[in-house]
Amino acid sequence: MAPQFRLAVVVDDDPDIALAARLALRDLFERIETLDSPADLLPLLKQESPDAILLDLNFERSATDGREGLDYLAKIMERDPDSAVVIITAHGAVSVAVEAIKRGASDFVAKPWSNERLAATVRSAAALRASKIDTRIERGRLSEVAPTTETPLIGKSAAMQRVRDLIERAAPTDANVLILGENGTGKEIVAREIHRLSRRSALPLVSVDLGATTETLFESELFGHTKGAFTGAIGERIGRLKAADGSTLFLDEVGNLPLHLQPKLLTALEQREVVPVGANRPLPIDVRVIAATNMSDEQLNDERRFRQDLLFRLNTIEIHLPPLRERRADIPELLDHYLGLYSRKYEKGSRVVPPTVLEVLLNHNWPGNVRALRHAAERAVIMADGDQYRIEDFPMPGGTQSPVVPVIGESLNLDQFERQMIERALRMHHFNISLAATELGLSRGALYRRMEKYGL
C-alpha cells in the first residue's frame, strides 16, 4: 500500500523513541526525518513543509514542565498555522499536553504508546492539515472566479420591498433559506445578498449548480474524494460542503437533484459532517445552506419528486421571488441600470429611451424575467445607433404581449381614440401587421385601410 503522506518529522532526544516512531509511521509517509533537538527543526521548516511533526516537550536534562517544547510549538505555529503537531509526552504530563493543544497542537500521545494509536493519531493530524490547506485553496479559487462587481438587487415595487424585508430578517440568523422563483428572477442575487448581510460574510459564498452536476459526480462535487477513490481521481479533492465550512453554501436548482440522491444530502446536513468518496472518516462541517429552485409549491410537495424531510431541512425560511411581469414598475430602473452597465462595458455613449419604446418594454410579458431584460439591454447597446433607442434594438422573443387596454383621456373623439389604439398595437408588436391586427380583432386588410386613413 502506497504511503498517504510525503514527510513526517520526529523531534525527540531519545534515539529509541525516535526509532520507534519511525517504525510505527513508515507505512504512512514517504520520508521520516528524525531530529534530536528542536533547534534543528526551524532551519528545516524553511526548506520543507512536513505533513506532520511529532514534538517532545522536554529536552533539557531533568526538565518536566514542557516549557521548552511549548516555546518551540509557538514558533512552529507562527511560521505555519496549519502545521499538524502531535505532542509526545509522559503519562504524568498530560496536563502540559492539554496546554499544548490549546496553543495549536493537533493532538498528543503518551509514552509508552501502542503503534496503532500513534499511527491513527498522526494520520488524523496530517489529514486535518491537508483538509485545511485544500479548503483555503478552494476558497481562493472560488474568490478568483467570483464576479468583481456584484449585480445589485434592483426594484422599489411593493413585491420587491417584501423580498427585501425577508432578506433583512433572515440574513443575520443561521437559518436555512429556500428561494423560489421562475428562471431569471434573480435567485442567486438574493442568495448573495443574504450572505453579504450575514455573520458569515468574511468568507466567500460557495455555489454549486445541481442542475449542471451529473449523478456520477454528485458525491465527489459535494463531499469530495480521496486519491484513487475512482477512475480519474488522481488526487484528493475537497467537496463544496467542506469548502463552505464556516460560510454559506448556495445550492442552485436543488429541485433537479434526483430523488435517490436526496437522502445523501439530507444526511450530511442533519449530521453536520461529510465523508469524502473513498474515505472512512467523517469531516465535520459548519455550513449555512441557501437553496433555490424554479419548482412550484405543488411540485415541491410531491413525495415522488422531492423528499419532504429534505424540504423541511431547507425551507426554514422561504422567499418567493415574483416574476418581472408582476413587478412592471421596476422595469424602468432595471433598464436604466443595465443600459448604463453595458454602455460602460462596450464604451458606447448614452442614449435616450423614448416613451413609446419604454411603453412597449413595460407591456412585454418577459418570459425570461430579469435575465431576459438584461440580455435585451445588452443587445440594444451593441446594435443601436443615433441618439435614441428604437424598439427594433431590443430582442423580445417568446411570450405574449399584454392585451391592449384602452386608456380614456379627456377626449371622447372616436377617430382620435381609434388612431391611438392602432398606434399602440403597432408599437407593442414591433410594427408586425399580422400580430397587431390580431390584437385589435381586425383583418390585415382592415388594419391597412385604417392605417391609410390615419396616415400611419
* CA proximity to 425, closest of 446, 410, 398, 395: 446
pLDDT for 377 equals 94
CA 441 to chain centre: 50
Amino acid letter, residue 214: T
Q: What is the mean pLDDT of residues 419-436?
A: 76
Q: What is the mean pLDDT of residues 311-330?
A: 94
- In sequence order, the β-bridge partners of residue 234 are none
Instruction: Determine contact, residues 101/55, Cβ cutoff 8 Å.
Output: no
Instruction: Determine contact, residues 339/381, Cβ cutoff 8 Å.
Output: yes
Strand duo 224-225 + 237-238: pairing: antiparallel
Q: What share of the chain has pLDDT > 70, as a percent?
A: 88
Rounded CA separation 433/425 (Å): 9
Q: What is the mean pLDDT of residues 227-241?
A: 73
- In sequence order, the β-bridge partners of residue 225 are 237, 277
Q: Which residue has the cell 432578506?
A: 167
Residue-range domains of the chain with CATH: 5-139 (3.40.50.2300), 160-322 (3.40.50.300), 325-393 (1.10.8.60), 414-453 (1.10.10)
Q: What is the mean pLDDT of residues 37-41?
A: 89
pTM: 0.60
Rounded CA separation 370/90 (Å): 67
Mean model confidence pLDDT for the chain = 85
pLDDT for 411 equals 53
pLDDT at 177 over 90: yes
pLDDT for 130 equals 81
Q: What is the pLDDT of residues 245-270, one digit of tens each?
A: 999 999 999 998 889 989 999 999 99
Look at 5 and 148; give whichever has higher pLDDT: 5
pLDDT for 145 equals 42
